[in-house]
């Protein structure tokens, strides 16, 4: 079976350091451990790198260190990504105020990722956005992409491991 191609938005990387949210931090740490073990192919975009670069020190170096410890593919901000982000906004998936969130999603779609992994429940991980992204992907001829929190991925994999070990 092919490995899942997962897109990590900035919220996943930043939550590796969010001790005030231990459950989310734990899920992100587990996800990063699985990436290190080669269970997933990880992708990030120009937007992710810019958002990390915008952090103040020492957080910027800490987050960059986390990225340095995994293998990932960087997605360039191409015309295709920008065009797709515009189409997401034009379809009302997100507003122009959320252009970076649209660019995260568009980068993942353009790179043919299977899943966007995010902890941005307000704009990305919610039914309205997921439905809108699916509609735009279908209408534009792109592969349908799913949007999940790290908890969903970690728990699903744990459930599958338990089921598999019982058979």
pLDDT, one tens digit per residue, over 29-60 is: 999 999 999 999 999 999 999 999 999 999 99
**114 is written with which tokens?**
């299977």
The mean-pLDDT minimum among 24-28, 52-56, 117-121, 160-164 falls in 160-164
Whole-angstrom distance, CA of residue 165 vs CA of residue 45: 36
Q: Omega into 58 within 30° of 0, i.e. cis? A: yes
Query: 4-166 falls under which CATH superfamily?
Result: 5'-nuclease (3.40.50.1010)
Return the axis-axis angle of helices 46-53 and 99-110, rounded to nearest 10°.
140
Give pTM, 2 decimals.
0.91
**96 is written with which tokens?**
């122009």
pLDDT value of residue 156: 72
Instruction: Write down the domain spans for the chain.
Output: 4-166
pLDDT tens digits, 115-153:
999 999 999 999 999 999 999 999 999 999 999 999 999
């Amino acid at each position: 079976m092919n490995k899942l191609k997962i897109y990590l938005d900035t919220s996943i990387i930043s939550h590796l350091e969010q001790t005030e949210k231990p459950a989310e931090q734990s899920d992100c740490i587990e996800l990063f451990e699985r990436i290190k073990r080669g269970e997933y192919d990880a992708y990030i975009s120009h937007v992710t790198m810019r958002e990390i670069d915008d952090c103040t020190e020492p957080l910027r170096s800490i987050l960059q260190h986390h990225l340095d410890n995994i293998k990932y593919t960087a997605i360039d901000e191409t015309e295709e990504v920008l065009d797709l982000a515009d189409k997401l906004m034009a379809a009302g998936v997100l507003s122009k105020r959320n252009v970076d969130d649209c660019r995260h999603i568009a980068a993942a779609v353009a790179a043919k990722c299977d899943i966007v992994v995010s902890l941005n429940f307000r704009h990305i991980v919610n039914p309205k956005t997921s439905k809108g992204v699916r509609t735009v992907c279908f209408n534009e001829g792109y592969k349908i992409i799913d949007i999940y929190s790290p908890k969903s991925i970690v728990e699903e994999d744990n459930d599958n491991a338990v089921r598999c070990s019982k058979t």
